[in-house]
Amino acid sequence: GRYQLIDHKGKKIKDCSDCSFPHIPENYDAIMAVLRHQME
Domain ranges of the chain: 4-39
Predicted pLDDT of residue 39: 93
> What 3 state SS string does the chain have?
CCCEEEEECCEEEEECCCCCHHHCHHHHHHHHHHHHHHHC
Dihedral-angle region of residue 12 (phi above 0 means left; psi in -120 to 50 means alpha; beta otherwise): beta
Q: What is the pLDDT along the chain (40 residues), one digit of tens a residue?
A: 688 999 999 999 999 888 888 889 999 999 999 999 999 9
Under 8 Å between Cβ of 24 and 11: no
pLDDT (0 to 100) of residue 22: 87
Which pLDDT value is given to residue 11?
A: 97
Which residues are bridge partners to 5 per DSSP? 14
